[in-house]
């Protein structure tokens, strides 16, 4: 009899550690895993990872009380059957009991509780849990056994039919196969052979029947084909066959022996004209009337070997091209972003000074031109990442109204400047909480809306979303972006989603761009499992439609979550809820997991209020000056190193809190410098090393992390990004500062 012997977990939730210790004292010897949580949010995260036999839940807790925690637990299909016992010191009024039972609890106990009663109840639930698991295992076993019996009956019924059919198929295969198939006895005398022997070896069937198999395969001399005796033939036997005009001697086939029956061997059979050819040979054995019969299949590998050589050559050529492409993209990114860092950074600093109207206008032109160039580079790099298959679809919860609102925020200023009306219409049937790749969906919307602004000088740009269908928790949503712009000729529509293609390729074209934006949209939508299309009328406008599948969050009643927003901006999920926990995880992931909890405060405490020691390692003088100026605006003085070797030397003389390290530098690059700095730092005093580089491919980030870097700043470096990094690692800017 099968029985459940796996772990039994009990979840204890109380915001007072003393209460958790009391519960542990009562239940500690039950041979169960006691998991203790100090809040409802922590308990929900535990439930996402493990399964529990019973939950002991306090009622009065900060941020999220026990009732709300219980409702969220019961809203999840995986945990809705887990028994919950409330343990509370609240009054004995009936309304508290009713609320607890309404939230899904199975019992409600008041503090102080009787340990023996609590223990008896827990033991009962543990027995129920173990019994349920045992029944589940037995049911699964019974189901498998039933399926095996049914399958056995079906196979038995088909056996008779298959025997006759197999014989007919075997004859058909033997007669039509291009491989030579033959049988021979234990003495190596050929018994049967198929017609393919004529094309492969040049013999008629009657010329080989009754002759030794070594006439075709000299390597079988001495009975080397026998099971358990697939030994290498003796030197004398090999020598007798010799080396023909066709190629190698039998000794070259030695590596093919020693393999068990059924496995393929690489040998060189001989044709009637004495020439040899590479072949793959497979041997099987059957015992008929106590006599061993060997079956042998010979496959000519001449064309396959040629194809493999060509394929390997093509593969090597493709790999060289791929490496060259990756190196080219990395070089282009670095060589363009490095001066762009100086152009945009210094332009920002220039615009932060006192300028007259003309000077400020010129500065704004420089900034906008630099940003346009940077946008082109970003498009090329984005498409390269998609093309290389480096992107993966994430499945995280998000609020669709919040995503739309944040997307529209990006275009608010542009809408006001261009006097275009930007509107959004949502289908009331759409669920508010969805699970999908929010980042990729936002990028598609930004690209399509930005494209509409580019080709629309007056009128409106509208965005709408509607529910196309629902199957279980899976929904299919259609997004539509419509503008009243110039429109696209019908013969140009097929070119829109092709990379680097432009509707207008003339020298006098009015609209600039790389032709990658829509190609990126198409790839991202298809990566998410959707489709995208376009319709347009010249002079009237263009409409883009794309559909993507998503998953809904369900309420405790099994219905899609309804819209609960207040005002124009959607409300955040309640603190500690499953959705809020997922949003927190997503926010942490957006920082690439670099900053650990409490790191900033810990480093600030270690300095005791002293000024932070910062080192800037960069070989470009303009970037040095720009970075020092940005740090100066934040009230931070920094040292400078012009290469990796100098950075290592300075770090050896002074304990730095933060090092901003460029990747590409002469003498020693930033990766090697980081390894040496971290390796030589005293225990617990290693500096935080942040990559500050123009290399922005995913592989560059991985190399930085492998070298020990904690964070990543991509050039052109933005003032706000520097502020965030400093704050993340406890290097707070001065209160009085000039904003860029």
- Residue ranges with strand state E in 648-687: 658-661
Q: Which of 126, 127, 136 is nearest to 54 (CA)?
A: 126
Residues 6+ apart with CB under 8 A from 121: 85, 107
Q: Determine the pLDDT at residue 387.
A: 62
In this structure, of 74-83, 389-398, 629-638, the range with the lowest mean pLDDT score is 389-398
Summarize pLDDT for 219-241 with one digit per residue, the tens. Answer: 888 777 775 444 433 333 333 33
Q: How far lies 534's CA from each of 4, 69, 457, 490, in Å?
A: 57, 46, 20, 10
Summarize pLDDT for 461-494 with one digit per residue, the tens. Answer: 999 999 999 888 899 999 999 999 988 888 888 8
Backbone angles phi, psi at 444, to 5 degrees: -65, -45
Q: Is the pLDDT of residue 256 over 60?
A: no
Structure tokens at 327: 């190196």
Q: Is 686 exposed, middle or buried (0-12, 13-18, 19+ CB in 10 A)?
A: middle
Q: What percent of the chain lies above the pLDDT cut of 90?
A: 28
Q: Determine the pLDDT at residue 597.
A: 39
The H helix count followed by the E strand count for the chain is: 20, 22
Q: Determine the pLDDT at residue 410.
A: 77
Neighbours of 702 (CB within 10 A): 10
Summarize pLDDT for 37-46 with one digit per residue, the tens. Answer: 999 999 999 9
pLDDT band at 186 (very low <50, low <70, confident <90, very high): confident
Angstrom distance (rounded) from CA 154 to CA 597: 60
Q: Is 409 exposed, middle or buried (0-12, 13-18, 19+ CB in 10 A)?
A: exposed
In this structure, of 28-42, 144-158, 554-568, the range with the lowest mean pLDDT score is 554-568
Residues 6+ apart with CB under 8 A from 594: 710, 711, 712, 728
Residue 670 · residue 644 · CB < 8 Å: yes
Q: Is the pLDDT of residue 73 over 60?
A: yes
Q: Determine the pLDDT at residue 589.
A: 36
Q: How far lies 547's CA from each of 471, 472, 553, in Å?
A: 15, 18, 19
Q: Is the pLDDT of residue 605 over 70?
A: no
Structure tokens at 239: 């020598």
Q: What percent of the chain lies above the pLDDT cut of 70?
A: 77
Summarize pLDDT for 79-106 with one digit per residue, the tens. Answer: 988 999 998 876 666 777 888 888 888 8
The 3-class secondary structure across 55-91, one letter per residue, is: EEEECCCCCCCHHHHHHHHHHCCCCCCCCEEEEECCC
Q: Is the pLDDT of residue 716 over 70?
A: yes
Angstrom distance (rounded) from CA 481 to CA 483: 7
Angstrom distance (rounded) from CA 491 to CA 503: 9
In this structure, of 320-324, 510-514, 728-732, the range with the lowest mean pLDDT score is 510-514
Q: Is the pLDDT of residue 595 over 60?
A: no
């Amino acid at each position: 009899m099968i029985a459940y012997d796996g772990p039994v977990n009990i979840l204890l939730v109380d915001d007072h550690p003393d209460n958790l210790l009391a519960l542990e004292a009562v239940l500690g010897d039950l041979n169960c895993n006691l998991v203790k949580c100090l809040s409802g949010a922590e308990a929900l995260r535990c439930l996402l990872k493990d399964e529990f036999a019973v939950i002991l839940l306090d009622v009065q807790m900060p941020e999220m009380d026990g009732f709300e925690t219980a409702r969220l637990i019961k809203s999840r299909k995986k945990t809705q059957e887990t028994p919950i016992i409330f343990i509370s010191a609240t009054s004995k009024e009936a309304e508290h009991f009713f609320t607890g039972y309404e939230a899904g609890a199975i019992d409600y106990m008041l503090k102080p509780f009787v340990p023996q009663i609590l223990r008896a109840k827990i033991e009962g639930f543990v027995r129920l849990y173990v019994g349920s698991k045992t029944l589940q295992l037995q049911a699964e076993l019974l189901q498998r056994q039933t399926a095996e019996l049914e399958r056995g009956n079906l196979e038995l019924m088909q056996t008779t039919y298959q025997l006759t059919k197999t014989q007919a198929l075997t004859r058909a295969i033997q007669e039509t196969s291009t491989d030579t198939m033959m049988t021979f006895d234990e003495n190596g005398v050929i018994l049967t052979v198929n017609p393919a022997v004529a094309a492969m070896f040049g013999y008629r069937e009657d010329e080989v029947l009754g002759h030794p198999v070594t006439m075709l395969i000299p390597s079988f001399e001495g009975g080397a084909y026998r099971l358990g005796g697939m030994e290498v033939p003796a030197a004398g036997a090999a020598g007798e066959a010799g080396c023909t005009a066709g190629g190698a001697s039998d000794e070259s086939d030695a590596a093919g022996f020693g393999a068990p029956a059924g496995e393929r061997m690489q040998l060189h059979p001989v044709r009637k004209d004495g020439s040899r050819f590479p072949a793959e040979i497979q041997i099987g054995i059957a015992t008929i009337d106590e006599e061993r019969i060997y079956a042998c299949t010979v496959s000519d590998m001449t064309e396959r070997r040629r194809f493999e050589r060509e394929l390997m050559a093509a593969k090597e050529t493709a790999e060289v091209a791929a490496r060259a492409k990756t190196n080219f993209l990395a070089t282009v990114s670095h060589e363009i972003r490095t001066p762009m860092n100086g152009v945009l950074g210094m332009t920002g600093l220039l615009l932060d000074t006192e300028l007259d109207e003309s000077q400020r206008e010129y500065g704004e032109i420089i900034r906008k031109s630099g940003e346009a160039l940077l946008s082109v580079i970003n498009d090329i790099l984005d498409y390269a990442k998609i093309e290389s298959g480096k992107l993966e679809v994430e499945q995280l919860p998000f609020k669709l109204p919040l995503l739309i609102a944040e997307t529209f925020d990006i275009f608010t200023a542009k809408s006001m400047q261009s006097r275009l009306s930007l509107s959004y219409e949502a289908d009331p049937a759409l669920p508010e909480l969805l699970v999908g790749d929010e980042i990729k969906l936002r990028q598609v919307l930004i690209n399509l809306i930005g494209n509409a602004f580019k080709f629309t000088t007056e009128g409106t740009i509208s965005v709408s979303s509607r529910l196309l269908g629902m199957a279980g928790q899976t929904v299919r949503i259609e997004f539509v972006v419509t503008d009243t712009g110039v429109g696209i000729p019908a013969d140009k529509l097929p070119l829109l989603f092709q990379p680097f293609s432009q509707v207008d390729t003339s020298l006098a074209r009015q609209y600039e761009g790389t032709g990658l934006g829509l190609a990126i949209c198409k790839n991202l939508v298809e990566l998410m499992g959707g489709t995208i299309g376009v319709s347009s009328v010249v002079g009237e406008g263009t409409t883009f439609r794309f559909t993507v599948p998503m998953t809904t969050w369900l309420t405790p009643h099994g219905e899609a979550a309804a819209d609960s927003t207040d005002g124009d901006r959607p409300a955040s999920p309640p603190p500690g809820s499953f959705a809020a926990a997922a949003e927190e995880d997503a926010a942490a992931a957006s920082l690439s997991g670099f900053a650990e909890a409490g790191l900033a405060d810990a480093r600030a405490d270690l300095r005791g209020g002293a000024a932070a020691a910062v080192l800037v390692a960069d070989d470009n003088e303009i970037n040095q000056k720009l970075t020092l100026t940005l740090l100066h605006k934040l009230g931070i003085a920094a040292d400078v190193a012009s290469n990796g070797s100098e950075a290592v030397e300075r770090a050896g003389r002074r304990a730095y809190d933060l090092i901003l390290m460029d990747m590409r530098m002469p003498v020693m690059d930033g990766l090697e410098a980081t390894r040496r700095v971290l390796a030589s730092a005293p225990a617990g005093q290693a500096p935080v090393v942040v990559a500050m580089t123009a290399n922005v491919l995913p592989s560059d980030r991985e190399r930085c992390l492998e070298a020990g870097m904690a964070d990543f700043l991509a050039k052109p470096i933005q003032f706000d990004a520097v502020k965030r990094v400093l704050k993340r690692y406890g290097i707070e800017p001065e209160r009085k500062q000039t904003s860029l």
